[in-house]
Amino acid sequence: MTSIREALGLLWSAPDDARMIQQDKQWYTWGQVRQLAERIDAELTEIGCSEGSRVGVVVSNRVETVAALVAILSKGRTVVTLNPMQPTARIAADVVASRPPVVLAPQSSWEAPEFVAAAAEADIVGYAVDGQDVTRIASLATVLDASVAAVGDPVAVEMFTSGTTGTPKRIPLTWRQLESAMAAVHKHTGAGGKVREPLTGKAALVTLAIVHIGGMWSVIQSLTEARPFVLLPRFTVDGWVDAVFEHKLAIASLPPAAMRAVLGGDVPKEKLSSLRAVTAGTTFVSPDLADEFTDKYDIPVMIVYGATEFGGAVAGWTRPLIEQCWKAKRGSVGKPFPGVSMRTVTPEGVVLPVGETGMLEVSAKQVGAGEGSWLRTSDLAHLDDDGFLYIDGRADDAIVRGGFKIQPETVCNALRAHPSVHDATVYGKDDERLGQVPIAVVELTSSASAPTESELREFVRDRLTGYEVPVAIHTVDALPRGASLKVDRRRLIELVKDLESARV
């Protein structure tokens, strides 16, 4: 298999007028991306930022970010992702904590005094990258503060897990991991080994934010396959549907929240007629939701399971597998990819028999610890006799109410069954008497009249055991979401506090 660096190098054989990235109906050519990438590379080289050096990038879904990735990765440097969806104070704190010797960011980031102060504190060389301009920030350092240390397993990308259930942690993804993950996906889908002229063929679609592993993976895969792609600035139903329809896409990503939005938007079937399947992951995918989408559009939903720590997906469905096994294995997230081993264990590490729910552990080349070692996840899961994986909940998400365990997704599904509820989320709130109690927050469909809290509670009583019924159900215009379109737990709790204060 061609390495990622070698594949990126092949982009330079594409003609400058080759269409590379489409955004907001405008095409950007390889020549435009190449010129910016070369400007970034020249600036980095001038200050001694060489192979193995860490480069912070404020990663948003724009052409400048893609050019930065090309400049950094093609020379064997390391991308340190900085999330622009966070408040400025959090980005500034991340800059200080991660301390990349150099940071690339839009000019708008450098106009925030907190961001500049953080870069100055960390002795960082800063550059504003907008359009074709790469401008050094004069008030900051002019030379690198850190030399490159030799490492046995070089890192390609450092990025945060989503952190929706707690404090995010930065994950180093090595070149070995990413290339092993790419090989596993190609074996799983049968898409490997195809040779074409660079930047020809059908376009791909980047649906998720690049700061999330799903979006980052989509961009790296498109670049290494030298495939033109549509880059959505953010997910919208119209933007996603227009890209599918214009480029006659055969496969496109559609996370659960986005899938509900497409269903709620009543998109005409003919607009999606080119799709052979959609892939869905990033969070739990209800089999009811998958069936609803398939029934409406006659398009199978290929659920995948993965994590930042794995460099992407490690299990999933294929279309042939769906045709053969969906009815019998409904609710599964599919089978492990080739080269991936899975098992479930007790909290003490005792391996459980097939069929028993426990904490999921994964072993594969693309797993951080490497093949032969096991990485424990926070997911509760079981594998059946045919090797299908089922996610039964999360060990760290379970709400223990008076000694009884509640899986939030069970409560969410009960609320989603209400005709007025578009989506729901549930979390545990500390309670002096019971330990924790479930709190629900629901987003209503646009056409719905708002049901009262008591009406929603009565509705779910027939679907849940008594201890699973939320003690409070809040209604919001829209659930706060992060880069992966998962609900942002921290913002959610802040929102609930505001709602509770308004009631007093």
Looking at the domain 235-394, which fold is it? Answer: Rossmann fold (3.40.50)
What torsion do the CA atoms of 296, 287, 409, 261 make, to the nearest 10 degrees? -20
Confidence of residue 369 (pLDDT cuts 50, 70, 90): low
pLDDT at 164 over 50: no
Look at residue 148 in the predicted model and tell me its pLDDT. 66
Confidence of residue 166 (pLDDT cuts 50, 70, 90): very low
Look at residue 192 in the predicted model and tell me its pLDDT. 58
Mean pLDDT computed over every residue of the chain: 89
Q: Are strands 389-394 and 341-345 parallel, antiparallel or unpaired?
A: unpaired
Look at residue 191 in the predicted model and tell me its pLDDT. 61
Token pair of 213 as six digits: 């592993």
Question: What mean pLDDT do residues 43-50 have?
Answer: 94
DSSP secondary-structure letter at 448?
P
Nearest to 207 by CA among 181, 236, 246: 236
For the chain, the structural domain boundaries read: 4-176, 235-394, 399-503
Confidence of residue 163 (pLDDT cuts 50, 70, 90): very low
pLDDT at 101 over 90: yes
Confidence of residue 34 (pLDDT cuts 50, 70, 90): very high
**Digit-coded pLDDT (tens) for 486-504:** 888 878 888 888 888 877 6
Beta bridge pairs of residue 440: 426, 473
Amino acid 331 reads G
Q: Are strands 19-23 and 229-231 parallel, antiparallel or unpaired?
A: parallel
pLDDT at 388 over 90: yes
Question: What mean pLDDT do residues 159-165 have?
Answer: 58
Question: What mean pLDDT do residues 304-318 have?
Answer: 86
- d(C-alpha 124, C-alpha 108), whole Å: 17
- d(C-alpha 99, C-alpha 117), whole Å: 13
Amino acid 338 reads P
Q: Of how many residues is the chain composed?
A: 504
Look at residue 249 in the predicted model and tell me its pLDDT. 96
User: E strands within 133-189?
Assistant: 133-136, 155-160, 170-174
Look at residue 147 in the predicted model and tell me its pLDDT. 63
- d(C-alpha 322, C-alpha 483), whole Å: 28
- d(C-alpha 151, C-alpha 154), whole Å: 6
Cβ-Cβ contacts under 8 Å for 266 (sequence gap 6 or more):
none
C-alpha dihedral sign at 310, 311, 313, 314 = negative
Prediction pTM value: 0.82
> How far is residue 136 from each of residues 133, 146, 173, 186, 400, measured CA to CA in Å?
10, 18, 28, 40, 52
Nearest to 382 by CA among 345, 328, 409: 345
Confidence of residue 448 (pLDDT cuts 50, 70, 90): low
Q: Report, in angstroms and rounded to the nearest whole number, the Rg of the chain calculated over CA atoms.
A: 23
Look at residue 90 in the predicted model and tell me its pLDDT. 80
> How far is residue 145 from each of residues 94, 125, 137, 162, 486, measured CA to CA in Å?
17, 9, 16, 29, 37
Beta bridge pairs of residue 394: 379
**Digit-coded pLDDT (tens) for 411-441:** 999 999 999 999 999 999 988 778 889 999 9
Look at residue 279 in the predicted model and tell me its pLDDT. 93
The number of angstroms, rounded, from the C-alpha of 343 to the middle of its chain's C-alpha atoms is 24
Q: To the nearest whole percent, how much of the chain has pLDDT over 90?
A: 62
Q: Taking a C-beta distance cutoff of 8 angstroms, is the pair 14, 37 a contact?
A: no
Looking at the domain 399-503, which fold is it? Answer: GMP Synthetase; Chain A, domain 3 (3.30.300)
Question: What mean pLDDT do residues 463-470 have?
Answer: 90
> How far is residue 58 from each of residues 28, 68, 202, 469, measured CA to CA in Å?
20, 10, 29, 41
Look at residue 310 in the predicted model and tell me its pLDDT. 81
Look at residue 195 in the predicted model and tell me its pLDDT. 63
4-176 against 235-394: fold identical: yes
Look at residue 358 in the predicted model and tell me its pLDDT. 93
Q: Taking a C-beta distance cutoff of 8 angstroms, is the pair 22, 231 a contact?
A: yes
pLDDT at 66 over 80: yes
**Digit-coded pLDDT (tens) for 104-155:** 999 999 999 999 999 999 999 999 999 999 999 999 988 887 666 656 789 9
Q: Which residues of 181-212 are buried (b: 16+ CB within 10 A; e: fewer)?
A: bbbbbbebeeeeeeeeebbeeebbbbbbbbbb
Token pair of 151 as six digits: 């490492």
- Does the domain formed by 4-176 have CATH 3.40.50.12780? yes
| Unique residue bearing structure tokens 């959609």 | 278
